Structure 1
């Protein structure tokens, strides 16, 4: 399993993913779950993935193949699509097609082929948008009322996002929020693990403004985690019945 989260804010987009893949207690590996497609200044598209690794890897491979196709068009390539909505439709259709193909092979083995994605980005002249793509290829969009989307093991990290994330949240505070959300998930679920991939896209930059990989034992992350634990303990002791 995995955990990925994206925030759509007034000032930009903040994205975070873990990189653990769990196929049993004795089969744990690290695979990147964040994929960036970028033509700096013209468009940036980021895809976060969760679920069946064979489905998500094949979907990403087909998206790249469509981009590299010499006959690529706005109806086939996410790098030529006229809007982020069209990008979401293309990715949703590709995900659904891959899942359908693999389902035929995996049904007999009763192996899950469920997978979901967060797609976020902006093209020049367009608005920043973020979508959650379901396994069937349909999707929902982040809004001012719900400015964050999650996939994977999301329940442990949701409470802090519900309490602190608003469209006007600064990009600095947003990074802190997603990292603390991930920290809560890491503490409660062994199927989510380091390293982490963090990316920030500032409004109208149409490129990844900041990208960082956080390895196990990262001193800044460890300091933040301990500070959050202490703040929770202190807050708990101060509350009176």
Structure 2
């Protein structure tokens, strides 16, 4: 499994993905899940993948070769898509086609395969605004909005509460990256299926260029961030009042409450 998050704020877009892939506790390896397509000054697109590695790798390979959609006679790629919406259609078609091919014709062996997969697509194409899409395995997709300025795929439940509480559309891009990394720290602590190295890309609004970075397990900033987050949580819960019904409860009378008092 994996964990990927995209955060779309007023200042731009940040996307983060882990690299851990496991097929059981004795078969764990690392694969890049964050891929980029860039034409300087014209477009920058980033794709995060989660789910079946064979499905997502095959789908991306087909996208690189070109996808012919139902309303076109010519193959299209992420380098030629005129809009981000069109790029989402291309990826959705490729993902759905690969999944359908694996399960056709339906056989007991095919039905037993894990073909679940999903994709995050983010970026900006000249003439359009930055955008972020979540593409499901069936090929349909949703767009990120201002009310909830992030999308996740994979093991999302551990990092979601952090983003729900703190991330807003007007959050500075640097602050969004910090929140995203905190969500990864929480996920890595709770789920062995997610782990470093982490791949990250920042795409400032209208820059039409991205800044990519890889954070290893021993990255000083990421380790310090996790330590500070743990200390802040511990200090916060100690500063909160105890439940009043426990503070005011009278001590139990001797010889009562339990079989031994009879």
Alpha-carbon distance change, 107 to 147 in structure 1, aligned in 2, over 3 angstroms: farther
Q: Which runs of 5+ in 1 are unaligned?
A: none
Shifted more, 181-190 versus 58-67: the winner is 58-67
**What is the alpha-carbon distance in structure 2 between the residues aligned to residue 27 and residue 162 of structure 1?**
33
Q: Counterpart of 2:168?
A: 166
**1:49 Cα deviation after fit:** 0.1
**What is the alpha-carbon distance in structure 1 between the residues aligned to residue 85 and residue 26 of structure 2?**
40
**1:105 Cα deviation after fit:** 7.3
Q: Counterpart of 1:91?
A: 91
Query: Does structure 1 conserve the Cα–Cα contact (< 8 Å) formed by 2:3 and 2:17?
Result: yes
Q: What TM-score results when the alignment is normalised by the length of structure 2? A: 0.87
RMSD: 1.6
**4+ runs of 1 displaced by more than 2 Å?**
72-75, 103-109
Deviations 1:188-226 (A, max 9, x none): 000001100011000011111x21101111121111100
Q: Counterpart of 1:235?
A: 236
Match of 1:115 among 103, 114, 117: 117
Q: Counterpart of 2:186?
A: 184
Q: Counterpart of 1:48?
A: 48
Q: What TM-score results when the alignment is normalised by the length of structure 1? A: 0.94
**What is the alpha-carbon distance in structure 2 between the residues aligned to residue 61 and residue 148 of structure 1?**
26
Count residues with an aligned counterpart: 236
Q: Which runs of 5+ in 2 are unaligned?
A: 244-262
**What is the alpha-carbon distance in structure 1 between the residues aligned to residue 180 and residue 197 of structure 2?**
14
Query: Does structure 2 conserve the Cα–Cα contact (< 8 Å) formed by 1:74 and 1:82?
Result: no
Q: Counterpart of 1:63?
A: 63
Query: Does structure 1 conserve the Cα–Cα contact (< 8 Å) formed by 2:66 and 2:75?
Result: no
**What is the alpha-carbon distance in structure 2 between the residues aligned to residue 93 and residue 59 of structure 1?**
9
**What is the alpha-carbon distance in structure 1 between the residues aligned to residue 73 and residue 226 of structure 2?**
46
Written as runs of structure 1 = structure 2, the 5 A alignment for 1:77-88 is: 77-88=77-88
Query: Does structure 2 conserve the Cα–Cα contact (< 8 Å) formed by 1:44 and 1:207?
Result: yes
**What is the alpha-carbon distance in structure 2 between the residues aligned to residue 219 and residue 206 of structure 1?**
29
**What is the alpha-carbon distance in structure 2 between the residues aligned to residue 73 and residue 47 of structure 1?**
25
Q: Counterpart of 2:2?
A: 2
**What is the alpha-carbon distance in structure 1 between the residues aligned to residue 123 and residue 131 of structure 2?**
6
Deviations 1:140-171 (A, max 9, x none): 10001111000000000000100111111001
Query: Does structure 2 conserve the Cα–Cα contact (< 8 Å) formed by 1:17 and 1:33?
Result: yes
**1:63 Cα deviation after fit:** 1.2
Q: Counterpart of 1:217?
A: 218
SS of corresponding position for 2:86: helix
**1:108 Cα deviation after fit:** 2.7
**What is the alpha-carbon distance in structure 1 between the residues aligned to residue 30 and residue 77 of structure 2?**
28
